[in-house]
Structure 1
Amino acid sequence: MNIRLTPLLAVSSIFILSCSSGVEDPFTKTTVPVIGKVTVDGQEPGGSIQIKCFNKGETDQEHPTVSGGFTKKDGSFELSTYTTGDGLPVGDYTLTFVWKKLDLMTRSYGGPDKLKKRYDDPKKSKIEVSVKESEAPIDMGVIELKTK
């Protein structure tokens, strides 16, 4: 019986070691934290506004990234790529904003856009951030959105 378990234990040990937190994906890009705050018509939104980040440069076809986040009720946000709040890889980005209903019970985000699709198109959005290699977070300050 022990003879059969030995190969299984060896394979399990290798798998566990390869999944340890000390091993990093070789294709993970360095990120810089990006924070800010969103207001809507001069007020805190009181709900989750979805933020998506679109790289203005060439997309890495082999190892693409998806970055974005959601505002908190007070409008504050931190953008993420790999883990919560880790930031964005170096590059120039256009940001889009969509404000729908976040249902925590069903884990869905839907309904009409309360911003009336004013900020949902990366080709039309004028909200941008340039990320350079840095250890300090980038603070985008207050981004003022309007519904009217």
Structure 2
Amino acid sequence: MTRAAVVRGGWVRVATAVFVAQLGLVQSGCGGPPPRQKVFSVKGRILAKGAPVGHAKLFLVPVGREDPEALRPRATTSSDGSFVISTYASGDGAPVGEYAVGITWRGPHNQASAKDANPAIGAEESGKDFGKDEGRFDLFKNRYRDPKSSGIKIKVDAAPTVVPDIDLK
């Protein structure tokens, strides 16, 4: 075997070893999803001027965490305004912590008018046709959509949490 063949063979082995080491580093960073955090039951009710807000969507954003990958517990209210928070599975709850809350309300999908969903809203909204604009129309006029500016916070303890009624004006 010539010296050139030995040198060339050595470089191939070194390059292969470097590639395998890099592959191992990449795979160790991709070890799958993070472990599930323990969650606790969270229930509450949303009202508008004292009347139940049915079919509203709410989502929780951890306070003090700007991580876009952070968990976003969420819920949709029932016709009586009640909600049960979900994180991993329906109604399972949320991890312990303080959350800012965002809320949007488009009313029931099959309603003829917003006034049918909640008589507490103003007359100017009562004749709105949801049709094509359903995805954009928020009966709260986006006042509570952004958790940073909604002014609504929920604290989840390491026990079942019942949130006091959230009455929006």
Q: Compute the TM-score of the two structures, normalised by the length of structure 2.
A: 0.60
Which residue does 1:29 correspond to in 2? 37
- 1:121 positional shift: 1.1
Task: Give percent identity, aligned residues only.
Answer: 33
Bigger helix share? 2
Q: Report the aligned-residue RMSD.
A: 2.1
Which residue does 2:22 correspond to in 1? none
Which residue does 2:158 correspond to in 1? 133
Please tell me whether the aligned partners of residues 39 and 96 of structure 2 are also in contact (alpha carbons under 8 angstroms): yes
Which whole-Å CA distance do the structure 2 matches of 1:123 and 1:58 have between them? 12
Which whole-Å CA distance do the structure 2 matches of 1:55 and 1:97 have between them? 15
Q: Does 1:113 align with 2:141?
A: no
Gaps in structure 2 of 5+ consecutive residues: 1-32, 111-133
Q: Does 1:49 align with 2:56?
A: yes
Relative to 1, partners in 2 of residues 1:26 and 1:40: Cα closer, same or farther, differing over 3 Å?
Answer: same
Which amino acid is the alignment partner of residue 67 of structure 1?
P
Which residue does 1:100 correspond to in 2? 106
Which residue does 2:113 correspond to in 1? none
- 1:52 positional shift: 0.7
Which amino acid is the alignment partner of residue 64 of structure 2?
G
Q: Does 1:143 align with 2:166?
A: yes
Q: Compute the TM-score of the two structures, normalised by the length of structure 1.
A: 0.68
Please tell me whether the aligned partners of residues 101 and 110 of structure 1 are also in contact (alpha carbons under 8 angstroms): no
Aligned length: 114
Bigger strand share? 1
Please tell me whether the aligned partners of residues 34 and 140 of structure 1 are also in contact (alpha carbons under 8 angstroms): yes
Relative to 1, partners in 2 of residues 1:91 and 1:125: Cα closer, same or farther, differing over 3 Å?
Answer: same
Which amino acid is the alignment partner of residue 82 of structure 1?
Y
Which whole-Å CA distance do the structure 2 matches of 1:59 and 1:89 have between them? 16
